[in-house]
Structure formats: structure tokens, C-alpha cells
A and B are shown apart, each in its own frame.
Chain A
Amino acid sequence: MSKIASAFRHGKAFIPFITCGDPDLETTEDVVLAAVENGADLIELGIPFSDPTAEGPVIQAANLRALTLNGGVTTDEIFAMVRRLRRKVEIPLVFMTYANVVFSYGAERFIWTCQDIGIDGLILPDIPFEEKEEFQPLCSKYGVDLVSFIAPTSENRISMIAREAEGFLYVVSSLGVTGVRSEIRTDIAAMARLVRQNTDIPFAVGFGISTPEQAREMARVADGVIVGSAIIRILEEYGKDAPEYVGAYVKKMKEAIR
């Protein structure tokens, strides 16, 4: 049984996304701890990439800050931070990054390290079902779940993807890239039904969610809610002082979906 499943045992899961190293790794560590204390069920740790093609402007800017401020962070420094965090944090942690960050590090060396430092899953937005052979065998070998995506355009692909999904399914709420949206028009309930017909693993909805009302709405049909840009905006505004504010935000969101 995947450790990720445990994130979905305390009511609907709240999953914050944090770009590692924005503005520095000490802040990232404190933000993770604040999120955990305030009810986060699973955390997506973003390893920054120079050209994040699936991200909107808010997370693009966070990637840039993480790679440039104070000389920028590296994958190895992020691994070391996760080792430190794992002494205090028990909830599942997953990495979200781009294929080249894993490929270029050496896929086996990267995924073995994930296991070694206590990372439970890997989210790679530029690895669709057709390309998962690139990393899937190594993820299976080292017990790291490779998370699959379902998008509003997936239609006839949903059953194929859901059947082989592991950890949790990442359901993309709307077309386009990450970022806060005032309204989500996709029929998430219809997607949820198709997912349920094909798999028992939990699914979480992300892209565009920022308010407790939106989160509550999504949690009516989904097992969890993922929030990225809204949290990155807090980091953008408060920098090193962000942990306290992120904590308060996580508390409010978790309460809304509980």
C-alpha cells in the first residue's frame, strides 16, 4: 500500500504546493512545517526548473526566484533539505518537477535518492501516459509513486490512465497552465465518475483553486484539493515572513473541505 493513501484518511485532503528555495531553503522548510501543523495532508515540493512550460506567471516567477536569488538552489541542496524535514514531518511528501531535472540528474540516481530521503511520489507534468516508461520501472523499483494526470481534454483517455494510476490521480481542473482562476467551468463531477469506474485510488483536483469556497466545491466530488499559485503569492508577498501566513491559509482551506 502506497504511503500516499494515508494522506486521504483524514477527510478530504488538502495538498499545498511549494517551490523549494523561494526565496530560500530555510523559508521553504519553515513553510512546510507551518503547513503540516495547520492540517496539510500531503505536500508537493517543487524542484525549480528554468523553463516550466506548464506553469502560469505566478509559479514561473517562483521558479526564477528559486534559481537566481542568493546564487540559486540545486537539486542536491533540495535533497538535503528533505532529509532534514523528514526528521520532523511524517505526512507524505512528493516532488513536482520537470522531466529534464530527473533525466539530467540520472533517472535511477534521482529516484533512488527519493526513496532514500523519504519522498513518496513524483509528479512530472511533461510525462504523459505514452512516455511514462521513461521513469515508471525505476519508480516501481524504488517504491516511489509516479503520479498521473487527467485533464479536461482527456476524454477517451481517462480509463486507460486511471487503470494504471498509482499514489493519487492529479485531475487538472481547467485548460491552460497553473494559476488562480475566478471560475472553474469544467464538469469535474463527470470526470470523477469516469475515474471512479476505473480505479479506487484517490484523486485530487488542482489548477486555479484559491478560495475556501472553490476548495469546498471541488471537495464535494474529489478526494483532495491541490493549491499552488495562491500559496506562492503569499511567499511572493511576505518572503521570509511567509510561514505564519501560509499556516493561517492552510488552516482556513483545510477547515473549508474537512
Chain B
Amino acid sequence: MTNAKGRFGIHGGQYIPETLMNAVIELETAYDHYKNDPEFNRELNELFCAYAGRPSRLYFAEKMTKDLGGARIYLKREDLNHTGSHKINNVLGQALLAKKMGKTRLIAETGAGQHGVATATAAALMDMECVVFMGEEDTVRQALNVYRMRLLGAAVVPVKTGTATLKDAVSEAMREWTSRISDTHYCLGSVMGPHPFPTIVRDFQAVISREIKEQLMEKEGKLPDAVLACVGGGSNSIGSFYHFIEDKDVRLIGCEAAGRGIDTFETAATVNTGRPGIFHGMKSYFCQDQYGQIAPVYSISAGLDYPGVGPEHAWLHDIGRAEYVPVTDEEAVCAFEYLSRTEGIIPAIESAHAVFHAMKLAPTMKPEQVIVITISGRGDKDCAAIARYRGEDIHE
């Protein structure tokens, strides 16, 4: 009997139809080869630096630090990357890998549209065909990103099934992959799905924590006391945590979307409200009912509106290495407005979840302590929706 692969404690695995098994095995074999290939890494690094604008800045938020009074706050500016979010890190890695594997077509799911835009961008750059699946609800919430993807040459397929949000987009992308494998790579956008995706995506996003470590050592001569990032599937957070996992004194805090509150049904805080399950190719925590039916989750943030969480996060939670805290819509919107006014930085509403928790945490810490918040993306895409949340009648 073979052992199931890609486990993080009890989580992870490869719970997918037989039709896809050789595809994920082929992907794993290719990745194992190229991840240590100097030429592949040189090309990827070149794309990161010359195209995506890495390394991203680690910015000392002096006004915020003074205003909150407590720990020194740094912002890891993934919002300054090309395409406006951390998603480009993973996409450039996967697109390059797919190209090396001889694939000519990329498919992807997207929630807020950030991953879809990043995938469409990489496809344009590398001359690949691109199809993005997006929940119909999200195509309305994020209409501008739909146009962006089309402008970049991608086809956008609105997904009408289920709750017509991110989970349904993932399901539809998986269905598409089972029907067309030989020329197609499924460019999964988060640290989720069947092995080897959680590992591949984490490795490509780990550049975030590698840079934080170097940059903070230069600025402060020490490790951070806490690293905060928002968690939906969990790619920017695992990227921000990864190189600190062994540094036990660094608190790792994932900020989940609580929606209207974790005591309501309108929440997407998986670690806080879910229980173990098997879905979308992995064992992990999922929001579900007593019979295992996946719950229709809710968050103001389309990018965090997902009923599961990556298996490595589930494991970090199980062993107590990372903490996962819920942040409501209202709290995230407050932080969205606060960072805009205080530092002149409009964060993605996803990232604002992490900003809010930092606003609570910083005043409880000492002035010599350091917090790093990953600003996973820029907030321009959210302005109209937040304005409407505040009662202003603005449409894109």
C-alpha cells in the first residue's frame, strides 16, 4: 500500500478523481526537478526582479506606530508588486514551470480577481492561452478585474453553480482540468488543493518571509516579535510565516474573515468555526454542516470568502505554532480607512483584516518590539464596494 503524499500532520493529501492523478504526479515530478535547477531559479528570479518589482519594500509605518503607541510596525508591501498583489509570486513560478512542462494553456480560479489578473498577466507574458473561472457573484463585485483579465487576453468564465463565489470557481476549474489535461496546467492560486499544490504555492510565496527576515535584520538587527497576515486559502500568510516557523519566538498570526461575526452563519473564519473535512483535494478544516455539506460562507472580502484553509495552516494550528484570529467586516473596513488616512496606503480589504488585528495588538506590546504586517494587495479594487458599505452610492 502506498503512503498518501503531501501531508501536514493529518492534513493535505490527494483527494481527487483518478482522472487527475497522473496530472498531479507529472506536476510533482517536474517540480521536484526544476525547484533545484539553477537555470529555472535564475529565470524565476529574473522575472521576480525585472518584471514583478521584487524585492518588495519593508516600510516602517512611523505614523501608525506613534498613533497606536506600542510595538514598532512594519508593512511588507506586496501591494507594490506588479499586478498589485502577492499573487504574482506564485503565478510567475507556476507559469514558468508549466511552460517547462510543455503546457500551452493556463486555467485558474479567482475570488477577488487578483489571482485571475496575475494569471492572465503571466499568460500574456509567456504567450500562453488563459481561461479564468470566477463566481458570477464575484464578477459583479469585482467587475473592473474582469475587464482587466479580458484586456490581458484571458477568457473569463462566470460560474453560476452553488454560491457563485470562490469555492464554486475552484470546483469548476477542477472540472475543466479533468476534461483537458494534456496541454493545460491548473494554476491554483492558493496553498490548497491536492498535493503538490500546497507545497509548490508555499515555496513560491516563501520569498515574502525570506525578504522580511533579511530586510528587518538590516533595519532592526533582529527578528520580528510577530508577523501578521490575512488568511483565506492562506497563500500570503504562509509566504509571510514560512521562514519564521523554526524561529519559535516569532508569533505567527493569521487573520481570518469573520464576516458578520463568528457567532453568525455569515462568516468565513474556517479555523475558528470549521472542523476537519475532505474537500477540493485536501484534508483540512472546512466550514460545513453536521452531514459534511460545505457551508455557504460570507465575507465582505471576495478573496477571503472561502470555506476551507490550506492544510499547512490547519497543521500549524493543530500544533499551536500559529494563531488564527477572526476579524469582522466592520473591523476590516475600519482598518482599511485607518491605514489610508494614517499612512496614505490603501490596502486590499483582505489585507485590512491583518491591519485591524495589528491595531489591537500593537498597543499591548513594548516599544522595542516589532510587528510585521503583510499588505498582500492594493485596495483600489475595493474602493467602490467599501464606499457602498458606508452608504455612498458609488459604482465602477
Contact = CB atoms under 8 A, between A and B. Distances in A.
Is B a genuine binding partner of A?
Answer: yes
A206 B275 CA distance: 34
A70 interface: no
A180 interface: no
A208 to B, nearest CB: 11
Interface in A147-185: 148-157, 161, 172, 175-177
Contacts of A104: 275, 277, 288, 290-292
B17 A128 contact: yes
Interface in B1-50: 1-5, 13-23
Interface in A54-86: 54, 56-57, 60, 64, 67, 74-76
A187 interface: no
A151 B179 CA distance: 11
Nearest to A152: B19
B1 A153 contact: no
Nearest to B293: A50
Contact of A103 (B14, B23, B174, B278): B278
Interface string A177-199: 10000000000000000000000
B53 interface: no
Interface in A106-152: 125-131, 133-134, 148-152
A125 B277 contact: no
A130 B1 CA distance: 8
A100 B21 contact: no
A170 B294 CA distance: 26
B286 interface: yes
A60 B161 contact: yes
B162 interface: yes
B291 A105 contact: yes
Contacts of A105: 291-292
A221 B292 CA distance: 38
B167 interface: yes
A153 B4 contact: no
Contact of B14 (A130, A156, A175): A130
B272 interface: no
Residue among A76, A128, A176 facing the most chain B CB atoms (10 A cut-off): A128
Contact of A172 (B1, B15, B19, B175): B19
A46 to B, nearest CB: 14
B180 interface: yes
Interface residues on A, range: 35 or more
Contacts of B251: none
B15 A126 contact: yes
A133 B15 CA distance: 12
- Considering residues A100, A101, A133, which has the most beta carbons from chain B within 10 angstroms of its beta carbon? A100
Contacts of B290: 104
A148 B19 CA distance: 12
Nearest to A175: B179
A51 B171 contact: yes
B279 interface: yes
Contacts of A177: 175, 178-179
Contact of B288 (A100, A148, A156): A100
Given A130-B2, A130-B14, A131-B15, A153 B23 contact: yes
B17 A51 contact: no
B4 A101 contact: no
A99 interface: yes
A100 B15 CA distance: 10
Contacts of A57: 161
A11 B5 CA distance: 41
Contacts of B18: 125, 128-129, 148-151, 153-154, 157, 161, 172
Interface in B273-296: 275-281, 283, 286, 288, 290-294
B292 A51 contact: no
B388 to A, nearest CB: 29
B68 interface: no
Given A130-B21, A151-B19, A103 B181 contact: no
A49 interface: yes
B19 A51 contact: no
A101 B16 contact: no
Contact of B278 (A126, A128, A130, A153): A126
B21 A128 contact: yes
Contacts of A102: 292
Contacts of B13: 130-131
A186 B23 CA distance: 18
Contact of A75 (B1, B14, B291): B291
Contact of B162 (A50, A99, A125): A50
A79 to B, nearest CB: 11
B212 to A, nearest CB: 35
Contact of B292 (A100, A151, A153, A175): A100
Interface string B353-387: 00000000000000000000000000000000000
Given A104-B277, A104-B288, A155-B22, A128 B16 contact: yes
Given A51-B294, A130-B21, 13 more contacts: A50-B294, A51-B162, A53-B280, A75-B291, A100-B292, A104-B288, A151-B19, A152-B19, A153-B21, A157-B21, A172-B18, A175-B19, A177-B178
20 contacts: A51-B162, A51-B168, A57-B161, A75-B291, A98-B278, A104-B288, A105-B292, A126-B278, A128-B14, A128-B16, A130-B13, A134-B278, A151-B19, A151-B21, A153-B18, A153-B20, A153-B21, A172-B19, A176-B19, A177-B179
Interface of A: 49-51, 53-54, 56-57, 60, 64, 67, 74-76, 98-105, 125-131, 133-134, 148-157, 161, 172, 175-177
Interface of B: 1-5, 13-23, 161-162, 167-168, 171, 174-175, 178-181, 275-281, 283, 286, 288, 290-294
CB-CB nearest 8 A-B residue pairs? A104-B292, A176-B179, A151-B19, A149-B18, A99-B278, A50-B293, A100-B292, A151-B18
